[in-house]
A and B are shown apart, each in its own frame.
Chain A
Amino acid sequence: GNSVTQMEGPVTLSEEAFLTINCTYTATGYPSLFWYVQYPGEGLQLLLKATKADDKGSNKGFEATYRKETTSFHLEKGSVQVSDSAVYFCALSLFSTINAGGTSYGKLTFGQGTILTVHP
Chain B
Amino acid sequence: NAGVTQTPKFRVLKTGQSMTLLCAQDMNHEYMYWYRQDPGMGLRLIHYSVGEGTTAKGEVPDGYNVSRLKKQNFLLGLESAAPSQTSVYFCASRHRDRGLRETQYFGPGTRLLVL
Contact = CB atoms under 8 A, between A and B. Distances in A.
Interface string A40-54: 001111100101000
Interface in A99-120: 105-108, 110-113
Given A42-B108, A107-B48, A95 B42 contact: no
Interface stretch (B12-20, B64-72, B75-83, B96-104): B96-104
Contact of A96 (B45, B58, B97, B108): B97
A67 B97 CA distance: 23
Nearest to A105: B50
Given A43-B107, A49-B101, A106 B45 contact: no
Interface string B36-77: 000011111100101000001010000000000000000000
Contacts of B56: 105
Nearest to B49: A105
Interface in B79-101: 90, 92, 94, 96-97, 101
Given A43-B90, A45-B106, A51-B101, A107 B42 contact: no
Interface of A: 4, 32, 34, 36, 42-46, 49, 51, 89, 93, 95-96, 105-108, 110-113
Interface of B: 4, 31, 33, 40-45, 48, 50, 56, 58, 90, 92, 94, 96-97, 101-109
